[in-house]
């Protein structure tokens, strides 16, 4: 069989530890035999990031802006222990943070659903996609622990020196205050990314904040979403038969529990953090979750939602067998290949991505899976496979298909 040809390269961002091992296995077993794979390779493994003073991360983000589609392996975000382990020149920043800043993106995450591994909310028959705004609010806060009696004020000084001033509270004893911010620019980017992604994936979009209580802060999010929708997306939504609606966050939470899923739930930064953890835990495993960073200019970066699975890697180094789930990393590749195929009009590439996803799910449904899934599945007579054999089993299913 002739291999599928590509025209534009994918930006390939290699990573660290166990996921780096899976990365190579996936390429060798599931991609290279079928595709004349064209990638521009960036090694984001910590060793090379250190050697290049993290220039390689910046370069990979620039390449993503140039080509439009990237696939990223999980990477180590250094901490004190990693400084020593890798003898680092500096505590390099999180690559995800660097790439997100360059792409001005929003992160979309959705559970990968498969028969036999069921969400504990029984009516969730379709995956719920979380869209999390990844800038500002409590993640960029300024806080003061108030020692005692006094007055707290909120002050804004404009460039020309004029002031806006509000009393926060007259303290008659110790307490706490917090200052948070966001920008119209970032909220607008977030809104555009959500509307574009909804059109792209043909899903309804929900957005919720606490605008009844936060009449300026949260209300601004609501207003910007509405403005962007009416100006740029309303007609396209109507044409596609899709719905956008805004509701209060309390109402959204209550409604989510009663739906069958299948929509995108856009959340402010903090709400997105906790709600995506809730949705993913309800669906079983971080390794059964897709994750894509989408920029308002239409640039896509696909990755797994989990980390480098360090504990498994150390076992692997000691020569012990591992059973690490490669599904999220496989789906990062299929997401990127499908998008590349769409943008370049290569139907075979899109079909291959669909097929590989189907083969992956079918392998699990036939009872062949890694240990993390075997622990939670409702299927009986399950075979627990090691990291490599699971990928080989997927290849067998793919070849049968």
Specify the stretch interacting with ligand NAP by CB under 6 A; choose among 110-118, 122-130, 248-256, 300-308: 300-308
Q: Which of 286, 294, 369, 394 binds ligand NAP (CB under 6 A)?
A: 286
**Are 61 and 99 spatial neighbours (Cβ–Cβ below 8 Å)?**
yes
Smaller CB distance to Mg ion: residue 273 or 389? 273
- Choose one: 58-66, 167-175, 236-244, 272-280; the region binding Mg ion (CB under 5 A): 272-280
d(CA 188, CA 209): 15
Stretch that binds ligand NAP, among 195-203, 210-218, 264-272, 304-312 (CB under 6 A): 304-312
Residue 277 interacting with Mg ion (CB under 5 A): yes
Which of 46, 53, 108 has its CA nearest to residue 77? 46
Q: Is 365 in the site for Mg ion (CB under 5 A)?
A: no
Closest by Cα among 348, 347, 350, 362 to 398: 362
**Residue 112 binds ligand NAP (CB under 6 A):** no
Question: Which among Mg ion, ligand NAP, none contacts residue 303 (Cβ within 5 to 8 A by kind)?
Answer: ligand NAP
Interface with ligand NAP, residue 276, by CB under 6 A: no
The Cα 305–Cα 296 span in angstroms is 21
Q: Tell me the C-alpha distance between 294 and 202, whole Å.
A: 15
Contact region for ligand NAP (CB under 6 A) — 60-68, 174-182, 226-234, 306-314?
306-314
**CA distance linking residue 191 with residue 326, whole number of Å:** 32
Which of 201, 220, 310, 362 forms a contact with ligand NAP (CB under 6 A)? 310
Helix (H, G, I), strand (E, B) or coil at 164: strand
Instruction: Please tell me whether residue 308 binds ligand NAP under the rule CB under 6 A.
Output: yes
Count of residues that bind ligand NAP according to CB under 6 A: 17
Query: Count H helices, E strands: the chain?
Result: 15, 18
CB of 142: closest distance to ligand NAP in angstroms? 26
The residue to which tokens 């961002």 are assigned = 13
- Where would I find the H helices in 142-216? 184-201
Contact positions toward Mg ion, by CB under 5 A? 273, 277
């Amino acid at each position: 069989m002739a291999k599928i040809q590509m025209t534009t390269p994918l930006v390939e961002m290699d990573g660290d530890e166990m996921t780096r091992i899976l990365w190579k296995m996936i390429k060798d077993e599931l991609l290279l035999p079928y595709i004349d794979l064209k990638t521009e390779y960036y090694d984001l493994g910590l060793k090379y990031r250190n050697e290049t003073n993290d220039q390689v991360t910046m370069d990979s983000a620039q390449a993503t802006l140039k080509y439009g589609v990237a696939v990223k392996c999980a990477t180590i975000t250094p901490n004190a222990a990693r400084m020593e382990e890798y003898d680092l020149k500096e505590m390099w920043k999180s690559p995800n943070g660097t790439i997100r800043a360059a792409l001005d993106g929003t992160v979309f995450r959705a559970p990968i659903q498969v028969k036999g591994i069921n969400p504990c909310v029984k009516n969730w028959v379709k995956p719920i996609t979380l869209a999390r705004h990844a800038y500002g609010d409590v993640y960029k806060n300024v806080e003061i622990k108030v020692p005692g009696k006094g007055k707290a004020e909120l002050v804004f000084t404009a460039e020309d020196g004029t002031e806006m001033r509000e009393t926060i509270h007259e303290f008659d004893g110790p307490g706490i205050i917090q200052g948070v911010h966001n920008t119209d620019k970032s909220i607008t980017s977030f809104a555009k990314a959500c509307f574009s992604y909804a059109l792209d994936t043909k899903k309804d979009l929900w957005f919720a904040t606490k605008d009844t209580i936060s009449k300026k802060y949260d209300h601004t999010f609501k207003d910007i979403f509405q403005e962007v929708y009416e100006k740029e997306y309303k007609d396209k939504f109507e044409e596609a038969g899709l719905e956008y609606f805004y509701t209060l966050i309390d109402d959204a939470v209550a409604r989510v529990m009663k739906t069958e899923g299948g929509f995108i739930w856009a959340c402010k930064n903090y709400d997105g953090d906790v709600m995506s953890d809730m949705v993913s835990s309800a669906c079983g495993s971080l390794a059964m979750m897709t994750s894509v960073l989408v920029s308002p200019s239409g640039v896509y970066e696909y990755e797994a939602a989990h980390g480098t699975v360090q504990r498994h890697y150390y076992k692997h180094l000691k020569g012990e067998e591992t059973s690490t789930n490669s599904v999220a990393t496989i789906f990062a590749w299929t997401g990127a290949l499908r998008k590349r195929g769409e943008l370049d009009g290569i139907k075979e590439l899109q079909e291959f991505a669909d097929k590989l996803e189907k083969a992956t799910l079918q392998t699990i449904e036939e009872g062949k899976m890694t240990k993390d899934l075997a622990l939670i599945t409702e299927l009986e007579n399950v075979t627990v496979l090691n990291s490599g054999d699971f990928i080989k089993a997927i290849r067998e299913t793919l070849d049968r298909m």
